[in-house]
């Protein structure tokens, strides 16, 4: 994978970070914050490939200021998702909603204050990172994909796999991001079932969001009826994931011939 392709992708992602941050500062639209974080994740996936190729590279290290800001935005995003989840399952718990609104206002205020200096941190971080980007051989790219598929499969095979689900999803997202970098890029003899991988990560993502909602509700002593509803939904989601993750290695390589 040529250095120029990677640098172009990284620049596009950082422009996306800056543009969506600017829009969020302007009107606090939740979608802009979400998209800003998506762009950071995509850029970070590329840097993971760089680090895998050359463990001595400092691309991930130089990107830390951006990741720190990403995590700050995550506090807002989690409160937003919790409210969205409550709406989606029609839970009318005014006490919980009031606490979530307070959290949103507090974290948004802190985030916007810190955002004043983020532009300079972003520029410096990216300048240093771009200088460290190197070309990656096809052999290394294939090894990177195999390593993340192995990590995902190992997590999904665990008998008590729930706590490993999120980590498995992160590995899948990294692969999907690198594939997006150059969709026509051939990964050696690997012909992965991308629709299956995307469906699996999506299902795990929805479960994780609801899992975090349950955690927040318990922490803030939500009523038992609300928690019962959330628990039932989580069990349904886990049942779907259990079925979907069966024969992961076969499905991911599309060896069953039907793409499911």
Q: What integer pLDDT is reported at residue 255 of this predicted model?
A: 64
The answer to whether the beta carbons of residues 104 and 84 sit under 8 Å apart is: no
Give the chain's radius of gyration (CA, Å): 20
Contacts of 81 (CB under 8 A, 6+ apart): 209, 212, 213
Q: What pTM does this model have?
A: 0.88
Cα(108)–Cα(94) distance, rounded to whole angstroms?
21
Structural domains present in the chain: 1-135 (1.20.120), 137-260 (no CATH)
Q: Which residue is associated with the tokens 């995902």?
A: 152
Cα(227)–Cα(260) distance, rounded to whole angstroms?
33
Cα(81)–Cα(31) distance, rounded to whole angstroms?
11
Q: What integer pLDDT is reported at residue 256 of this predicted model?
A: 58
Q: What integer pLDDT is reported at residue 163 of this predicted model?
A: 79
Using DSSP, state whether 201 is helix, strand or coil. helix
Residues of the chain with pLDDT under 70: 160, 182-190, 255-260
Token digits of residue 63: 């990107």
Q: What angle do CA 118, 28, 79 make, to 5 degrees?
A: 95
Cα(141)–Cα(252) distance, rounded to whole angstroms?
17
Phi-psi group of 247: left, alpha or beta (phi > 0 → left; psi -120 to 50 → alpha; rest → beta):
left
Token digits of residue 9: 């992708």
Give, to the nearest 10 degrees, the angle between helix 165-181 and helix 194-219. 140
């Amino acid at each position: 994978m040529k250095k120029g392709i990677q640098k172009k992708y990284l620049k596009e992602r950082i422009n996306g970070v800056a543009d969506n941050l600017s829009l969020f500062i302007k009107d606090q639209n939740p979608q802009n914050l979400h998209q800003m974080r998506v762009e950071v994740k995509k850029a970070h996936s590329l840097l993971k490939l760089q680090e895998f190729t050359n463990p001595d590279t400092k691309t991930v290290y130089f990107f830390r200021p951006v990741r720190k800001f990403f995590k700050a935005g995550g506090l807002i995003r989690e409160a937003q998702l919790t409210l969205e989840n409550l709406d989606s399952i029609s839970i009318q718990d005014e006490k919980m909603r009031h606490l979530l609104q307070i959290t949103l206002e507090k974290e948004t205020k802190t985030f916007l204050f810190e955002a004043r200096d983020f532009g300079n941190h972003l520029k410096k971080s990216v300048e240093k990172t771009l200088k460290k980007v190197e070309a990656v051989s096809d052999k290394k790219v294939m090894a990177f994909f195999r390593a993340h598929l192995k990590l995902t499969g190992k997590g999904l095979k665990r008998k008590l796999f729930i706590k490993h689900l999120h980590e498995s999803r992160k590995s899948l997202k990294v692969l999907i991001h690198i594939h997006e970098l150059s969709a026509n890029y051939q990964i050696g003899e690997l012909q992965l079932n991308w629709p299956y991988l995307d469906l699996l990560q999506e299902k795990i993502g929805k479960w994780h969001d609801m899992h975090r909602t349950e955690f927040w509700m318990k922490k803030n002593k939500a009523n038992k009826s609300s928690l019962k509803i959330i628990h039932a939904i989580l069990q349904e989601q886990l049942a779907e994931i259990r079925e979907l993750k069966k024969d992961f290695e076969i499905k991911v390589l599309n060896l069953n011939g039907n793409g499911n």
